[in-house]
Amino acid sequence: MRRNWIEAAAALLAAMGTVMALGGCATSKDELLPHGNHTMLDVWQQETGGSGSAGGGQAARQLLDARQGLRRPLTEADVQAALATNAAYTRTATNEIRQQFRRLPNPDLVMYVFPHLAGTDSVPVPGYSTVFPLHRSVQYAMPGERVEDY
């Protein structure tokens, strides 16, 4: 008896869900896109309250005010910043080589030479420090081999 009641309730819920799902699609195309001699621009302006040839409305005025706020003259600082930004993207021969073939680091080594006697006459040489590069020549990475800066 209890099982029959559960099955009946499940069937009723399934039927109600189907009816509700089908009811959600019950919009006619005539309601969405009315027939007549209206263009899509007319329908758009009517539905969104957009500015048409008849003056628009408050929404159109707010949009115009927002656009006017964005249309401000550039200051000298804005112009200089734009030039500096654009210069970083300009392709030059130097930029191409530096971007594709990056120099590998060639650290300087510091060596301390202790005081010593030099030559056949045993001339005393005081202690000193000297700096020299690790590699004799400049080493370059292949394109894409090294991407981090150093």
| Among the listed residues 53, 48, 149, 43, the one whose alpha carbon sits nearest the alpha carbon of residue 102 | 149
**DSSP helix, strand, coil percent of the chain (3-state; round to 5):** 45, 15, 40
Better-predicted residue by pLDDT, 5 or 65:
65
Interval 29-51: pLDDT, tens:
777 666 778 788 887 777 776 65
pLDDT tens string 101-148? 778 888 899 999 999 999 999 999 999 999 999 989 988 888 777 656
Angle, CA of 124, 128 and 131, to the nearest 5°: 140
Q: Per-residue pLDDT tens for 64-92?
A: 888 887 887 888 998 888 888 887 777 77
Q: What is the pLDDT of residues 52-62, one digit of tens each?
A: 545 556 777 78
